[in-house]
Structure 1
Amino acid sequence: MRAAVLGSPIAHSLSPSLHRAAYEGMGLHDWRYEAIECDEAGLPGLIGGLGPEWAGLSLTMPLKRAVLPLLDTVSELALRVGGANTVVFSAGARHGDNTDVHGIVQALTEAGVAPPRAATILGGGATAASALAALHEMGLDEATLVVRDRARAGETAEVAERLGTALTVQTFDKLDIVLDVDLVVSTLPAGAADGLADLVAGVPALFDVVYAPWPTRLAAAVAARGGTTIGGFPMLLHQAVRQVEMMTGRTDVPVEAMRAAGKAAIVSRAAPES
């Protein structure tokens, strides 16, 4: 059987390391997992050309929303979030789902973060929408979204409406007034939140979706003040665990072997070339 992760750019993806470690630990020696460079324009043709040997696909940016019209069925969660990061092929049909939400919930739970009474999310893209859904799943019924331009909050605001979550939108110049919260979630790219470190340093808990380099300046500032910090790797790990379960139909997924393989891949990439 075959599976792959699609996206553009895709060379940085940890998914091959995670999924291959799972296959090895599960004795699925005839399964293959690869990374395929694919943009939105190429997605319909690629999916349409896959044969019966394909079990599923992992999707990263910019494909999570673009894939929805190409699917036969879509989970209620993926519809609410407005994006699918997982496609499972079964009986000739394409089923889309979202495991990012599960990954975020598991990452926070694993770190001992209690369901927050209030949270602020930095950034307004697809990951922010998944974070909002994860917090909703943990019991949060209102949140604050911080963006550079209010116009960038539209899609996430629609997600909040579908979830039934009250959403307040604020801009980064007013960040200091929305930090009296239990949890800050940063969905900003690596380096983009560095200048916010001093402002955010005093929050009780930070979930930063960046996994390398780690700790980010934001995470280091929070940790220095005694706060709990969670990086993006646990989210990637647990969303991949759920994908393996869905694609293989098995629940005996070797989580710790996947964790070790993912961490080894991160260390290997950070090591200087000799």
Structure 2
Amino acid sequence: MQRAPGLGMLTGTRLAVWGDPIAHSRSPLLHAAAYNVLGVAWTYDRRRVDEAGFPSALSSLDASWRGLSLTMPLKPAGFQAAVEVDARARATGAVNTLLFERRGLRGYNTDVGGIVAALRELGVGEVPSARILGAGATATSALVALSEMGVGSVEILARRPEAANDLVARGAALGMHSTAGPLDARHHAVDVTVATLPGDAALAPDVVSSLADAGGVLMDVVYGTWPTSLSAAWTERGLTAASGLPMLLHQALRQVRVFVAGEQDQPLDDEARVLAAMRRALVGE
């Protein structure tokens, strides 16, 4: 088993994903598949924890715990709880992975790398322009991911455009030309669209049609509700549309790297077998 220098004090064997809601999470399947290949006897569960209950739930954990995966609405709370965060967590203000160390909690954002890897699988290379739908924590990770891929211009569309002001500022800080607008704005052509809206989000048919006509490749981070109205519109036009499952897979792989070696960008030994096992678990094989 790989172990990074300085992480020898990690003795816990318990892991879990926390969030609210949580029953739909496929993370336990993904992580169990990875640890089976790696030959480590770690447990990985799920627990419903809301934002108000997060501090007390966190303080109740003992030395048997190795780390946590966090989903909504806990990513900002995870950022606040960490005594040290990685560069992607700093750039987003969101932590989806906590590693327990003697000196305190170390926080990581693996969503960014997961989005990059998922878009690469779709054949997306360096592209000039992109559009993000939504303005929440996942939209922030998408913004940083697009920046890492060399996108120079990004448009953020949200039901309340003012909610995207922080994203516009973050985009500018990353050297991107960023703007915000309503979902029903006039849609100019972009190379990539990343949708971070809830799966049950109701969009007017003319808005969906306009977005598809001008949206390039679509990655819709939803995976529990599929197809979405957006993905259906893309498919009807013969355009590429993918769910959030590849993102989920690749961000989970990076979490496994963190829990094993404390570094999300350092590949595991025999990583090809680990990823293949996780991919099979994701589709129920």
State the TM-score, normalizing by the size of structure 2: 0.86
Q: Distance in 2 between matches of 1:212 and 1:68?
A: 26
**Per-residue deviation at 1:11?**
0.9
- 1:95-139 CA-to-partner distances (Å, cap 9, x unmatched) read 001000000000000111222211111111111111010000001
Q: What are the residue-to-residue correspondences of 1:117-266 with 2, within 5 Å?
A: 117-174=128-185, 177-192=186-201, 194-195=203-204, 196-202=207-213, 203-249=215-261, 251-252=268-269, 253=271, 254-264=274-284
**Aligned residue-pair number:** 262
For each residue in 1:158-206, what CA deviation from the matched residue of structure 2 results, as whole angstroms up to 9, or x when unmatched?
A: 43244232210111221xx333111111111113255343222333311
1:38 is aligned to 2:55: no
Q: Which amino acid aligns with 2:59?
A: G
User: Which residue does 1:269 correspond to in 2?
Assistant: none
Q: Is the 8 A contact 1:237 1:259 kept in 2?
A: yes
Q: Identity rate of aligned residues, in percent?
A: 44
Counterparts of 1:204 and 1:162, CA distance in 2: 25
Structure 1 residue runs without a partner (length 5+) = 266-274
Match of 1:184, SS? strand
User: What is aligned with 1:116?
Assistant: 127
Gaps of 5+ in 2: 1-12, 262-266
User: Mean Cα displacement is larger for which, 251-260 or 13-22?
Assistant: 251-260
Mark the CA change 1:170 to 1:194 in structure 2 (over 3 Å): closer, same or farther: closer
Q: Aligned partners of 1:164 and 1:204: how far apart in 2?
A: 22
Q: Structure 1 residue 73 and structure 2 residue 93: aligned?
A: no
Q: Which amino acid aligns with 1:241?
A: L
Counterpart position of 2:100: 89
Q: Label 1:121 to 1:263 Cα distance change in 2 as closer, same or farther (>3 A).
A: same
- Counterpart CA distance in 1 for 2:122 and 2:280 is 17
C-alpha change, 1:235 and 1:217, in structure 2 (3 Å) is: same
SS of equivalent residue, structure 1 residue 201 = helix
- The answer to whether the Cα contact below 8 Å between 1:193 and 1:218 also exists between their aligned partners in 2 is no
Contact 1:19 1:33 in 2 (8 A): yes
Deviation string 1:58-89 (CA, Å, 9 cap, x unpaired) is 00111101122221101122111111111111
| Structure 1 residue matching 2:75: 3-state secondary structure | coil
**What is the distance in 1 between the residues matched to 2:92 and 2:221?**
17
4+ runs deviating over 6 angstroms: none
CA displacement at 1:22 relative to structure 2: 0.9
The Cα RMSD (Å) is 1.7
Q: Which amino acid counterpart does residue 91 of structure 1 have in structure 2?
A: R
**Equivalent-residue separation in structure 2 for 1:86 and 1:193 (angstroms):** 31
For 2:116, the equivalent position in structure 1 comes to 105
Q: Secondary structure at the match of 1:212?
A: coil
Correspondence 1:15-54 to 2 at 5 A: 15-28=27-40, 30-54=41-65
Worse-matched range after superposition: 178-187 or 248-257: 248-257
* Contact 1:55-1:88 within 8 A present in 2 as well: yes
User: TM-score w.r.t. structure 1 length?
Assistant: 0.90
CA separation in 2, counterparts of 1:42 and 1:251? 34
- Give me the whole-angstrom Cα distance separating, in 1, the residues matched to 2:100 and 2:202: 38
> Aligned pair in 2 of structure 1 residues 194, 256: CA closer, same or farther (>3 Å)?
farther
Separation in 1, partners of 2:78, 2:257: 21
Post-superposition offset of 1:16: 0.8
